[in-house]
Chains A and B, each alone.
Chain A
Amino acid sequence: MGALKNIILVENNFLLRSGIEGLILELPGLLLKEVFDGKEKNLYRKLINKKPDVIIIDPNALGHNFISIISKLQEEAGIMLIGLLGSDCPENISSRFKNHLPLEGNKHLLLQKLREACGKDAVYPTNKKTQADSRLLSAREIDILREVVKGLTNQDIADNLFLSIHTVMTHRKNISRKLSIKTVSGLMVYALMNNIVDINEMG
């Protein structure tokens, strides 16, 4: 279980908010990073700035801003959107979400849905192979890491390794996820510790 998933919740109803927080606490591997009540100014920016893996949204919390915010979020690759939806939720709203948490569900069902939506591997590694895969850096990721800790930009790394900048970013995201290390200087410590780079290579 190398993958700590960052979750953001958008919910204005106190009881629901507390309930969801309780569910998230039950699943190791999930981390509730922040809760918004949906009425914040520039909410879309604030959500994106937190770099979440998953956003759980109650459409009611967004009110009439729902469509504008959800449309922008849908275009963000790499963010899983989960709708907190009642059974009476109209199709044009529910269809915006790939994953649903049904308001009427019992605890078991809700935990299961949440686990599925966040990726089972994040919560329970399914077998030994995926466990190793989700923990160890691949050879390519180690190449990227070596470049990152030299202080190179994504563009430089892409040029040096003949990759697209998008691929570099995906690799970087996976590296941080596997290691639970987010900053370049943290990665540098990891790389030095594991002899991936030599102290003399550092500027």
Chain B
Amino acid sequence: MLIVREMKLADVIHHDYNLVPVINRFDISLGFGDGTIREICEERDVNVEFFLSILNTFHDVQYFPKDYLKSFPVSLIINYLRKAHSYYSDEKIPEIKLLISKLIRLSGKNNKTLNLISNFFNDYCNEFAAHLLREETIVYPYVLSLEKALAEKNDNGLVDMELMKYSITTYEADHEDVEEKLFDMKSLMIKYLPLESSDNLMFEEISYSLLRELFVLEKELSEHSRIEDLILVPKVEGMEKHYKSGR
């Protein structure tokens, strides 16, 4: 389904409820009423084009947001990506950690396998946090200063030589290892998590929630890197070309 501006947002969510956290990042919460996407965006001063390209990229793996690429400022993308980052690190990861600690409590402290899995996930979290930090402290500031410099260059022809040295392709998302670790975590749980608990029913219930959260996080992250690869990187490449040519 291609999501377009005259659709009712409620219908879109009926069709794909995975989009709820995505609209939240635009400060749209459930209970948004009967409005179309266009109406809801106008009410809240959200850039419709950008909103649509994010929803579609997230919703449909095949979607390629060519037409919208040039129509919104790159700072919007960065803003969105930052919000997504804090959603992962402030909500999803703590949720998963909470589930793991519940399992540990249920099975007693001596469940060796569970402790190992828990440590493994903590390592994963540290690595993931480092990855996010790299983007937030290096990549995003670079992109934002490029946007600013581009505006200045148009005004007075001045070029920042420092910026000329960098390129977004150097930073092109390196998600591979982080993704693989998440996959391993699922493997370890599916195959080797031992049932050692005073309350087996509860233990099974929580392991299921935990596994589901891992699958959800994995899917979220792959959509997220698709947004970086399909929207951010081409957009910045265009800006670089513009900036570095014809001074």
B106-124 contact mask (Cβ, 8 Å, vs A): 1 or 0: 0000001100110110010
Given contacts A49-B176, A183-B177, contact A193 B116 (CB under 8 A): yes
A1-27 contact mask (Cβ, 8 Å, vs B): 1 or 0: 000000000000010000000000000
Cβ-defined partner of A193 (8 Å) among B123, B180, B183, B192 = B192
Q: Whole-angstrom distance from the CB of A30 to the nearest CB of chain B?
A: 16
Give the residues in chain A near B183, CB-CB below 8 Å: 180, 182
Cβ-closest chain B residue relative to A18 = B62
Give the residues in chain B near A182, CB-CB below 8 Å: 180, 183-184
B116 touches A186 (CB 8 A): no
A181 touches B120 (CB 8 A): no
A192 in the interface (beta carbon within 8 A) = yes
Contact-residue size bin, chain B (C-beta under 8 Å from the other chain): 10 to 19
Cβ-closest chain B residue relative to A193 = B113
Given contacts A193-B113, A193-B116, contact A185 B123 (CB under 8 A): yes
Give the residues in chain B near A181, CB-CB below 8 Å: 184, 187-188
Cβ-closest chain A residue relative to B112 = A193
Give the residues in chain B near A49, CB-CB below 8 Å: 176
CA distance A183 to B187 in the complex (A): 11
Cβ-defined partner of B181 (8 Å) among A14, A185, A190, A192 = A185
CA distance A190 to B185 in the complex (A): 11
B123 touches A180 (CB 8 A): no
Give the residues in chain B near A193, CB-CB below 8 Å: 112-113, 116, 188, 192
Give the residues in chain B near A179, CB-CB below 8 Å: 187
Secondary structure call for the A interface: helix
Cβ-defined partner of A186 (8 Å) among B62, B112, B113, B181 = B181
Chain A interface, number of residues (Cβ within 8 angstroms): 13
Give the residues in chain A near B180, CB-CB below 8 Å: 182-183, 186
CA distance A193 to B180 in the complex (A): 19
Given contacts A181-B187, A182-B184, A183-B181, contact A189 B112 (CB under 8 A): no
Which of B119, B123, B187, B191 has its CB near the most chain A CB atoms (within 10 A)? B187
Cβ-defined partner of A14 (8 Å) among B62, B176, B184, B185 = B62
CA distance A181 to B184 in the complex (A): 5
Give the residues in chain A near B112, CB-CB below 8 Å: 192-193
Q: Which residues of B from 157 to 190 have beta carbons under 8 Å from A?
A: 176-177, 180-181, 183-185, 187-188
Give the residues in chain A near B177, CB-CB below 8 Å: 183
A186 touches B176 (CB 8 A): no
Q: Whole-angstrom distance from the CB of A29 to the nearest CB of chain B?
A: 14
Give the residues in chain A near B187, CB-CB below 8 Å: 179-181, 186
CA distance A193 to B176 in the complex (A): 25
Q: Whole-angstrom distance from the CB of B129 to the nearest CB of chain A?
A: 15
Given contacts A14-B62, A185-B123, A185-B181, contact A190 B176 (CB under 8 A): no
CA distance A190 to B191 in the complex (A): 10
B117 touches A189 (CB 8 A): yes
CA distance A192 to B119 in the complex (A): 12
A185 touches B113 (CB 8 A): no
Q: Whole-angstrom distance from the CB of A37 to the nearest CB of chain B?
A: 9
CA distance A180 to B188 in the complex (A): 9
Give the residues in chain B near A186, CB-CB below 8 Å: 120, 180-181, 184-185, 187-188
Give the residues in chain B near A190, CB-CB below 8 Å: 188, 192
A105-128 contact mask (Cβ, 8 Å, vs B): 1 or 0: 000000000000000000000000
A-B contact pairs, 22 of them (CB 8 A): A49-B176, A179-B187, A180-B183, A180-B184, A182-B180, A182-B183, A183-B177, A183-B181, A185-B120, A185-B181, A185-B184, A186-B180, A186-B184, A186-B185, A189-B116, A189-B117, A189-B184, A190-B192, A192-B112, A193-B112, A193-B116, A193-B192
Can you name 17 extra interface pairs (CB under 8 A) apart from A182-B183, A185-B123, A189-B184?
A: A14-B62, A180-B183, A180-B184, A180-B187, A181-B184, A181-B187, A183-B180, A183-B184, A185-B181, A186-B120, A186-B184, A186-B185, A186-B188, A189-B117, A189-B188, A192-B116, A193-B188
The 10 nearest A-B residue pairs measured at CB: A186-B184, A180-B187, A182-B180, A189-B116, A181-B184, A189-B120, A183-B180, A193-B113, A183-B181, A183-B184
